[in-house]
Amino acid sequence: MTRPYVFVTRKLPDDIVAPIKDIAEVAMWPYDDIQVPRDVLMNEAKKADALLTMVSDVVDEEILEAGTSLKVVANMGVGFDNIDVSAATKRGIAVCNTPDVLTDTTADLTFALLLATARRVVEAAQWLKEGKWKSWSPLLLAGADVHHKTIGIVGMGKIGQAVAKRATGFDMNILYHNRSRNIEAEQKLGATYCSFEELLKAADFVVCLTPLTKETRHMFNSEAFRKMKRSAIFINAARGAVVDEQALYEALVSGEIAAAGLDVFEHEPIAASHPLLALTNVVALPHIGSATKETRVKMMELCCRNIIAVLKGKRPETLVNE
């Protein structure tokens, strides 16, 4: 009997994929910093029993249709908006993600981004390196306090709750908006549920942690930014397309909001010449929410376990399509 064939869309450490090799042939795209081209992914999908994909790979109906032997797509990320899950489900293809293992790591980065944006950390460090520091002065690079302020978390899933937990350490008042109320978050973290509009109006820090869906695409639009306080700081550690970037740019330039910390963008990688990156009140990061060595290894291992489970006819640990 021929062994199953698994294609991995980025170069991953050999010891991590080794367990798959016990039961399958494994081929890997040879680069860790270059995205697999679509034609290569298409050809590989045609042969593959399993794909191990990155959140930057678009696995749409065309790719899934080509994958006549495909049984599982294991995506290295908690988000799976890059995969057409309903097309996969229709064809009996399992889609898996990597929740839980990245929760605290992503919450740490989200909070780091919030602090960095509020306290102008990146701007100040750059300023110093450019030799601009003449003397201590009363309002030099003065930012905004974080402690005792109101944080408004949009998307109170596991990462949202982990961010809220961090916010309690800063004595913050915690508001949240979510598809449904999260009673556990209310009881454990003292978070208060409110409408999207109420949150926008009341929060000093508006933190976007909602998944990208048809409903959330561009939910942060010009109307949303107009409702925020002029002193508000907007943080996005979820998906770029939840935000209308042109509207965000205009809100930042016109002073409708004070600053933004962004780990994600509508088109990644964002061009260095993008107008958002020229603003001093923007702290921008290259989608590194879950990027610690420990967590990335756990994510890769979970993808491998999910693939092995499906190829052995077992239920994977973190199945997205029920």
What positions carry a catalytic annotation? 239, 268, 287
Question: Which residues, 262 to 291, sit near ligand DGY by CB under 6 A?
Answer: 289-290
Report the largest interatomic distance among the alpha carbons of the chain, rounded to a whole angstrom: 76
**Which runs of E-coded beta strand occur in the chain?**
5-8, 25-28, 50-54, 72-76, 94-96, 150-154, 173-177, 192-193, 205-208, 233-236, 259-262, 282-284
Q: What is the CA radius of gyration of the chain?
A: 21
Distance CA(41)–CA(105), nearest Å, equals 29
One symbol per residue from 3 to 42: x for binding ligand DGY (CB under 6 A), - otherwise; what is it? Answer: ----------------------------------------
- Asked if 82 interacts with ligand DGY (CB under 6 A), we say no
Under the binding rule (CB under 6 A), the answer on residue 162 touching ligand DGY is no
Residue 50 found at the interface with ligand DGY (CB under 6 A): no
Say whether residue 102 binds ligand DGY (CB under 6 A): yes
- Closest distance between ligand DGY and the C-beta of residue 290, in Å? 4
Q: Could you say whether residue 155 binds ligand DGY (CB under 6 A)?
A: no
From 74-82, 212-220, 221-229, 312-320, span contacting ligand DGY (CB under 6 A): 74-82
Name the minimum Å distance from CB 239 to ligand DGY. Answer: 7
Tokens of 240: 């770029």
DSSP 128-183: HHTT---S--TTTT-----TT-EEEEE--SHHHHHHHHHHHHTT-EEEEE-SS--H
The stretch near ligand DGY (CB under 6 A) out of 71-79, 133-141, 243-251, 273-281 is: 71-79
Give the 3-state secondary structure of residue 288. Answer: coil
Footprint of ligand DGY on this chain (CB under 6 A)? Answer: 55, 77-79, 102, 289-290
